[in-house]
Structure formats: structure tokens, C-alpha cells
Amino acid sequence: MNVPTQQPNERVWRNARLATMARGTAGIGIIENGAVVSRDGTLVFVGSEKDLPSCTHSEREEIDCEGRWITPGLVDCHTHLVHAGNRAHEFELRLRGATYQEIAAAGGGIISTLRSTRTASKEQLIDASLPRLDALIGEGVTTIEIKSGYGLDLATERRLLEAAQELSRIRPIHVHKTFLGAHAVPPEMAGRADAYIELLTQEMLPTLAAENLIDSVDGFCEHIAFTPAQIERVFATAASLGLRVRLHADQLSNLAGARLAATHHALSADHLEFSDESSIQALALSGTVAVLLPGAYYFLRERTAPRVDLLRLHHVPIAVATDCNPGTSPLTSLLLTMNMAATQFRLTVDECLLGVTRHAASALGMDNAVGTLEAGKRADLAIWNIEHPAELVYRMGFNPLHSRIWRGR
Ligand code: DI6
Ligand code: FE
């Protein structure tokens, strides 16, 4: 019998200040004079340095953090990171007065990214996406959600999800893959949205689910996209396949998308600019996370902000994400996103920080694995050159990351 001779791979970060983000702690769970121990990629101790268990393994490596702050690795829980091309020319049109809806109606918008994406190979999609991913990794992001939705046919949606999966092999990051086939009606089926939903529910979604390419299912419920009735058909198919759902809801108008998401026990309802109180109450009851996307609000110069006061009143967990996409949020900084959430939506510093850690993990159904510093979770850490966590929200365009640890390394 082979007896393993190698000692467990144990590391301790000491002389640190921790913002654990743990549930049941006040605010962001600050521990001064803290230490963190990982063994084989999992946290086995998080607490005061004076309580640090003595070394159980001769191979323990010690890292002196010199008083730096440690947070959980950041979680970007809503991105369309994998796509080809960009829409800088549409940005120029908007600067001359065209609206996002007008550009979409004239065949631009999502459909213009679809054209570039359909002609790109998987390798080209990966090459185009890596600089965006690296920008996020460079800010301490260790878990990311990536949606399909710029293919809108089986082969291209598969290629997008495979590229997203491949990114997690090329870089040290966890990728949650979301199928967003219900993003727009593809041009070859223009005017036949119901027929497209039929194709999506009968063929695309079941096939890609069987290929293990889907972690959750999303849709775009909006007058320029799909009706609540069409989204319900997508959600019913997802449920029959055992997949959780999420929804782009109430971004540009109030179609009660958030309520629809809550009815289907969605992991998250995203955007929510036009959600009313009854929808927000429904989110609270279903435990659905509200994902706020201040980058899209900023870039589209929207004027109606999500009702953060009602989200607080009803205790809906709030996450914050980049919505990284070529049309409405060409944003690859989660730090800047937090600043935008604070400045535009008046989120507090603690709400912003919890929004890119614990609550973002919940939005991915991963709150048992990531998003806080607690024994038993993955050893995903971000170590910062800051005096206080508020600096992570306060600065614009400045990155104080000292180092990033993924699974203990
Ligand atoms: N809502 C958005 O803001 C993005 N997708 C969505 O469903 C826009 C995507 C794009 O314009 O390319
Ligand atoms: Fe989005």
C-alpha cells in the first residue's frame, strides 16, 4: 500500500488585517492583527494571530503581510466577457445623439457583436477575451461569471461557452458559465421571437446542458428583447433540466422582470432600475440576489436608478458587477464599478465590498465555497496595499492590489 509521504501543502499569512465579509459579523467582519492559514487550497484557519494554531505540518510556509489588508478574492458575478469586436463606432453615434434603442433597431447593438462573434474561431474568441480577463485578474478577481448570448445559434453559443471554459484552464480563476441564448432574436429569425424561443428550448438549451457547458440560464426581459411569457418558457425548460436561472430584469422599463425571476427562484435578478416595491418584496421572499450594474447605468446615461432604499428595507442581498460587454458597459474594473455603485446609487462602502464578495458569491450559488474568509472555504485571497478598505471604493482608476492568491497559491 502506498502511504503518502508528502506533507500537506500549508501556508500561513500573518501580520495582516482581515475583512472577512463573513455572515453574522458586523459590517465587513474586520479582524485586526489577523492570520489566515490554507491547506491544500482550502482555508483551515481565519482569525486573530494570537489564536493561530501551532504548526501541525513541517512544510508550513509563512508569509509576513506587514500589516496589509486581506479580503476574499473578488467575484464578478455578471459579465459578457467573451465576444469578438467592439462597438466604439456606436459609442460615437450615441455621442452625436442616437440612442441605444435606435441603434439596436437599425441592426446595430447586440446584432453587430453577433456578426463579429459568429465569424470568430474559439481561439480568436479566447485571444480577444484574455486582455479583459487579465484586467480583472489584476484587480484580485478569483471567480467570474461569463455569459454566452452573442451567438444565438447552437454552434456559436457552444463556442462561446467552450471559450469561457477554456479561459479557466489558461488562467487561475473559477468561471461560472451562463447560457444567455435569450439575449436577442437572431437576424435570420427577425420578427419570429416565439419560433426562436421554440428552437432555444427544444434544441439549444437541452443540447448544451447535456454537454455540461451550462451552470445557469439567463434571459433579457425587455421590450427590445423578450416578453415575460417568452422568458417563462426558457425558465421552465431550465427547471426541467435542473438548472438555476437569473434574469436581466427591469433595466430600461418595468416589465415586472424581477418578480418573474423571484417566482422562478432565480439566483439573481440583475439591473433593476425600474423594479417596483412589489417586485423587490418578491426578491426578498425568494432569496434572490439583486445584482446592480452601475457601469451600464453610467454608460447609457440612465436617469432612473434602482431603488436601493427598498432593497435595504426588504433585506434583499445586493451584489455589484461590471456587466463587461461591448454595447452598454465596456468596463473591466471591478474596483471602478464599486466607486460607480457608491457615487451613482449611493451604496455604502460596506455594501460595495460585500457586493463584490459574499453577495456576488450567493448570486452564483457559490456562497458555500467562495466570497468570505472562513475556514472551509477556498483559499482565494486578495492582499492590498491600503490603509483602510474604504480606499478600494474611493479611488478611481487606481489599483492597490499587492498580490492575489487562488486556491492557496
Ligand atoms: N443588457 C445589457 O445591458 C447588455 N445585454 C443585456 O441584456 C447589452 C449587450 C449589448 O448591447 O451588447
Ligand atoms: Fe448584462
- Report mean pLDDT in 10-residue bins for the chain, 409 residues: 60 98 94 97 98 79 97 99 96 93 87 96 98 98 99 98 98 98 96 98 98 98 96 98 98 97 98 98 98 97 97 98 97 98 98 98 98 98 98 98 97
Residue 214 near residue 238 (C-beta atoms within 8 A): no
pLDDT at 26: 86
Considering the domain 10-73+372-405, what is its CATH architecture?
A: Roll (2.30)
| b/e map 339-366, b = 16+ CB within 10 Å | bbbbebbebebbbbbbbbbbbbbbbbbb
How far apart, in Å, are the Cα atoms of 61 and each of 72, 160, 350?
20, 39, 32
**Distance of alpha carbon 354 from alpha carbon 352, whole angstroms:** 6
Ligand nearest to the CA of 300: 1
Give the number of other Cβ atoms within 10 Å of residue 109's Cβ.
21
Q: Whose CA is nearest to atom 6 of ligand 1?
A: 220
Task: Please report which residue ranges of 346-390 form alpha helices under DSSP H.
Answer: 349-355, 358-363
How far apart, in Å, are the Cα atoms of 234 and each of 204, 211, 219, 251?
11, 18, 8, 19
Amino acid at 45: F
**Is the distance from the beta carbon of residue 279 to the nearest atom of ligand 1 less than 6 Å?**
no
Residue 371 near residue 71 (C-beta atoms within 8 A): no
| b/e map 142-179, b = 16+ CB within 10 Å | bbbbbbbbbbbbbebbbbbbbbbbbbbeeeebbbbbbb
Whose CA is closest to 72, among 384, 331, 321? Answer: 384
Q: Is the dihedral of CA 138, 269, 228, 159 positive or negative?
A: positive
pLDDT at 1: 43
CATH fold for the domain made of 74-363? TIM Barrel (3.20.20)
12 CA to middle of ligand 2, Å? Answer: 38
**Is the distance from the beta carbon of residue 237 to the nearest atom of ligand 1 less than 6 Å?**
no
Encode pLDDT of 61-110 as tens digits: 999 999 999 999 999 999 999 999 999 999 999 999 999 889 988 888 99
**Distance of alpha carbon 249 from alpha carbon 327, whole angstroms:** 17
User: 143: part of which helix (H) or strand (E)?
Assistant: strand 141-147
What residue ranges do the domains of the chain occupy? 10-73+372-405, 74-363
- The cell for 72 is 476574499
pLDDT at 8: 63
297 CA to middle of ligand 2, Å? Answer: 11
Whose CA is closest to 16, among 30, 33, 2, 3? Answer: 33
**Is the distance from the beta carbon of residue 110 to the nearest atom of ligand 1 less than 6 Å?**
yes
Ligand nearest to the CA of 257: 1
Atom nearest to 248 CA in ligand 1: 7
Per DSSP, the three-state class of 289 is strand
**Distance of alpha carbon 144 from alpha carbon 131, whole angstroms:** 14
288 CA to middle of ligand 2, Å? Answer: 17
**Is the distance from the beta carbon of residue 326 to the nearest atom of ligand 1 less than 6 Å?**
yes
**Is the distance from the beta carbon of residue 389 to the nearest atom of ligand 1 less than 6 Å?**
no
**Is the distance from the beta carbon of residue 79 to the nearest atom of ligand 1 less than 6 Å?**
no
347 CA to middle of ligand 1, Å? Answer: 23
109 CA to middle of ligand 1, Å? Answer: 8
In this structure, what DSSP letter does residue 378 have?
Answer: B
**Distance of alpha carbon 142 from alpha carbon 162, whole angstroms:** 19
**Is the distance from the beta carbon of residue 164 to the nearest atom of ligand 1 less than 6 Å?**
no
**Is the distance from the beta carbon of residue 183 to the nearest atom of ligand 1 less than 6 Å?**
yes
How far apart, in Å, are the Cα atoms of 58 and each of 6, 63, 369?
10, 15, 27
**Distance of alpha carbon 318 from alpha carbon 347, whole angstroms:** 9
**Distance of alpha carbon 211 from alpha carbon 370, whole angstroms:** 25
Whose CA is closest to 79, among 141, 14, 138? Answer: 141
Q: Is the dihedral of CA 22, 24, 28, 29 positive or negative?
A: negative
- Name the one residue in this structure whose C-alpha cell is 489599483: 399
